Every structure is written in structure tokens, then in C-alpha cells.
Structure 1
Amino acid sequence: MIQILSKEINGFLNSLIGYIVISVFLTGIGLLMWVFPETSVLEYGYADMETLFSLGPYVFMFLIPAITMRMFAEEKKAGTMELLLTKPLTDWQIILGKYLSGFILVVVALIPTLIYYFTIYQLGNPLGNVDTAGVIGSYIGLVALGAVFTSIGILSSLITTNQIVSFIIAVFLCFFIYTGFESLAAINVWSSSSLFIEQLGILYHYRAMSKGLIDTRNLIYFLSVLTFMLMLTKFILGSRRW
């Protein structure tokens, strides 16, 4: 698994697209937080990071599929998938190696945004007038969200040989599981089941964590979705139906 992990990370960092993806993410978030007047912290005058945590998931929907789209699709297109499967590695070692490499890259892209917290901390009036508990909860939620989106990206990459198709499928699935259930729950036909349907989506649990209250039920939800996606990936890889 370590070999797969190292290979994927090196392959990403040795390619131009790796730096472009991370740079676009940081530039986009920076512009949203500090430049664009509709979302700028400086325009609103509030010492918070709501812009990052409310818009970050939508940026993740494109960033993470761009990271994961090549992981299995490129192997199959290049004809190296069969060679990979003949190595003394279990299916889980292959999947987890690729998954962890994608997740690590997501965390690496997220770490520089901590500068925004320290900047807002200094800009607060009085100094440090920031909801630190809310920020910590939101970061945990964003990392958990990144973990789930990465598992969706890995699955999408496995079911196709085309990286662009993998990207599109992953973006759609990430968008649906994030906001789709809330939109379904808003349809006035479910009666008392609306709340249950809304709770099936990520947005409900992500909002709860953003308040700074780390409820184990929300963490269990993220872990359950992540586990389901990886098990589905394992099933497809094990059946060799790709």
C-alpha cells in the first residue's frame, strides 16, 4: 500500500496539473474571501471565515474530482491495470493506497488556508474576536467532506477509462450527495419524512459541524458514507467489472 501511496503522490506532484489544481483552489478561495465584494471579509466587516466554509465545498466538488480522475482511469487506459493487479497486493491495499494519496493531497491543499484564520484573528476587534470553536468544527467538517468526496472520486475513476468522464461523474455525485437530498426534502410531498430525507445528505451534517459542536452522529455519518463508497469500489474492482 505504501508503494501505491508514494507512486500516486509523486505522480501528482511531478505533473503540472497537480500544481495547477492546488493553485486554482487557493487562488479561487483567496479571491472569494478577500477580493470579490459580494463575499469579501473586508467588505462585510465581520471577523469570520463563513466564505471559506460555505463556498469551500463547492470548490471541492471540482478540485477533488480533478485530483482523483486519473487514479484508476489512467491505469486502465495505459494498459497497466492488469500489471498492477498481478502484483502481491490485495484489492484493499490498492484502493486504500490510491484513496489515501488523494486525501493527503486534499489536506495539503487545505492547510495554506489556515493563514486566513490567523489573518482574521489579527483583524478582529478586539484582537482575536473570532469564533475559534466554530472554525475548528468547520475545518473538521471540511476535512470529513474532503474524505467523502475523495472516495466518490476513486469510485468514479474505477468505472471508466476516460479521465474526463470520471471527472464529470464525480462532480455530479459529489453535488448530488451534498445538496441533492436537501432539494428532494424541500419537495412538498414527503410530509413527516422530509427531515429524514434531508439527513441523508451531507449538507445537513456539515452545517451541524460548522456550529462548532462535534456530534459523534455527524462523524459516524461521514464515516458510513466513506466506508460505503470504498466497499462499492472494492466490489467493482474484485468483480473486475470495469
Structure 2
Amino acid sequence: MFTLFRKEINGYLSSLVAYITIGVFLLVMGLFLWVFPESSILDYGYATMEGLFNTAPYIFMFMIPALTMRTLSEEQKDGTFELLATRPLTDWQIVWGKYFACLLIVLLALLPTLIYYYAVYKLGATEGNIDTGAVIGSYIGLFLLGGAFVAIGLFASSVTKNQIIAFAIGVFLCFFTFIGFDSLSQLLSFRTIDSFIASLGINEHYQSVSRGVLDTRDLVYFLSFIGAFLVVTKTVLGGRKW
């Protein structure tokens, strides 16, 4: 698995894929955080990074499917998955190797945004006047969200040989699982059903973690969500006749 993981990372870093993905992410987040008046902290009047953490999930909906769309679909299209399958690797090792490689790229995209936190920390009227606990919780929530979207993108890439179709499926599933259940719950009139349906979506758990309190239920939800999509991805790969 580690050999495949290193191969995937080298593949990303030796091409422009990772650099363009990370660069576009940082540029867009910088614009939303500092430039656009609707979300700029310069117009808020107080030190906060809510603009970044409220916008990042929607950027992830497009960035991560674009990152993962080639992981398995390209292998299938080029016929290289047959060679990969003949090596002493199980389906799980292939899935985990590609998953962790994409997740590392997501982490590398998030790390430079700590500069934004440092800038907000220093530029406040009172230095350090920012809720660091909430920021840490939001970063944890954003990383878990990225892990969930990577699992979705990997699944989307496993069901088709066409990268564009894989991207479209990934974007749709990311969008639906993030806010689709919230929208669906608003169509129902019973409070208990509303709460249950909303709890099935990612957004409620992401917002919960972003408050700075890591609830075990939220952690179990994200791990279960990721595990479910990886199991389906492994099942799709195992069911194909190469």
C-alpha cells in the first residue's frame, strides 16, 4: 500500500495537478477572506475566520472531485489497472493507497491557510483577540469534510472510465450530502423527522465540530461516512471483470 501511496504522491507532485489545485484553492480562499466585501474580515469589524470556513466547503465540492476524478477512471481507461491488479496488492490496499494520497494533497492545501490565521491573530485591535478554540475545531471539521469528499470522489472515479463524468458525479454527491439533506428536511413538517434527516447530512456535523467542541458522535459520523463510501468503492472494484 505504501508503495502505491508514494507512487500516487509522486504522480501528483511531478505534474501540475497538485500545484494548480492548491494554488487555486489558496487564491479563491484569499479573495473571499480579504477582498470580496460580502465575506472580507476587513469589513467585519472583529477578528474571525468564519468567511474561510463557511466558503471552503463549497470550494472543496469542486476542488476535490477535480483532484480525485483521475485516480481510478484513468487506470481503467488506460488499462493500467490490470497491471496494478496483478501485483501483490489487495483491493483494500489499492483503495487506501489512493485515498491517503488524495487526502495528503487536501492537507497540503489547508496548511498554508494557517498564514491567514496568523495574520488575523496579529492584525486585531487587540492582538490575539480571536477564538482559537473555534478555529482549531473548524480546521478539524474542514479536514474531516475533506476526507469525506475524497471518499466520494474516489467512489465516483471507480464507476466510470470517463474523468469528466467522474467529476460530475463527484460534485453532485458532494453537494447533495453536504446540503441536500438540510434542504430535504425543510420540506417536512414534523420536527423529529426534520432533525433526523438533517442529521444524515454532513453540514450539521461540520457545523457542530466548527464550534470548537469535538463530539464523539460527529467523529463517528465522519468515520462511518468515509468508511461506507470506501467499502462501496472496494465493492465496485472487486465486482469488475478485468
Both structures adopt the same fold (TM-score exceeding 0.5): yes
Measure the CA separation in 2 of the matches of 1:135 and 1:25. Answer: 19
Measure the CA separation in 1 of the matches of 2:154 and 2:8. Answer: 12
RMSD: 1.1
Query: 1:90 Cα shift?
Result: 0.6
Q: Give, as a single letter, the amino acid of the residue that structure 2 aligns with 1:32.
A: F
Measure the CA separation in 2 of the matches of 1:233 and 1:22. Answer: 25
Query: 1:113-128, aligned counterparts within 5 Å?
Result: 113-128=113-128
Measure the CA separation in 2 of the matches of 1:111 and 1:197. Answer: 33
Match of 2:143 in 1: 143
Measure the CA separation in 2 of the matches of 1:90 and 1:229. Answer: 17
Q: Give, as a single letter, the amino acid of the residue that structure 2 aligns with 1:146.
A: G
Query: 1:18 Cα shift?
Result: 2.3
Q: Give, as a single letter, the amino acid of the residue that structure 1 aligns with 2:203.
A: L
Deviates more, 1:5-14 or 1:22-31: 5-14
Please tell me whether residue 9 in structure 1 is matched to residue 6 in structure 2: no
CA contact (8 A) 2:47 2:121 kept: yes
Deviations 1:27-58 (A, max 9, x none): 00000001111111112222010011001000
Measure the CA separation in 2 of the matches of 1:232 and 1:94. Answer: 13
Measure the CA separation in 1 of the matches of 2:61 and 2:131. Answer: 26
Which secondary structure does the structure 1 equivalent of 2:43 belong to? helix
Q: Normalising to structure 1: TM-score of the pair? A: 0.97
Query: 1:124 Cα shift?
Result: 1.7
Which secondary structure does the structure 2 equivalent of 1:41 belong to? coil
What residue ranges of structure 2 are gaps of 5+ in the alignment? none
Which secondary structure does the structure 2 equivalent of 1:15 belong to? coil
Query: 1:189 Cα shift?
Result: 4.1
Q: Normalising to structure 2: TM-score of the pair? A: 0.97
Query: 1:7-46, aligned counterparts within 5 Å?
Result: 7-46=7-46
Query: 1:17 Cα shift?
Result: 2.6
Q: Give, as a single letter, the amino acid of the residue that structure 2 aligns with 1:227.
A: G
Q: Give, as a single letter, the amino acid of the residue that structure 2 aligns with 1:165.
A: I
Match of 1:222 in 2: 222
Please tell me whether residue 179 in structure 1 is matched to residue 169 in structure 2: no
Match of 2:111 in 1: 111
Moved beyond 4 Å, runs of 4+: none
CA contact (8 A) 2:134 2:211 kept: yes
Q: Give, as a single letter, the amino acid of the residue that structure 2 aligns with 1:5.
A: F
Query: 1:190 Cα shift?
Result: 4.3
Match of 2:204 in 1: 204
Measure the CA separation in 2 of the matches of 1:17 and 1:94. Answer: 20
Query: 1:132 Cα shift?
Result: 0.5
Which secondary structure does the structure 2 equivalent of 1:26 belong to? helix
Measure the CA separation in 2 of the matches of 1:191 and 1:217. Answer: 20
Deviations 1:73-127 (A, max 9, x none): 1111111111111111011110000000000000001100000111000012211
Please tell me whether residue 60 in structure 1 is matched to residue 48 in structure 2: no
Q: Give, as a single letter, the amino acid of the residue that structure 2 aligns with 1:178.
A: F
Q: Give, as a single letter, the amino acid of the residue that structure 2 aligns with 1:123.
A: L
Match of 2:170 in 1: 170
What residue ranges of structure 1 are gaps of 5+ in the alignment? none
Match of 1:234 in 2: 234
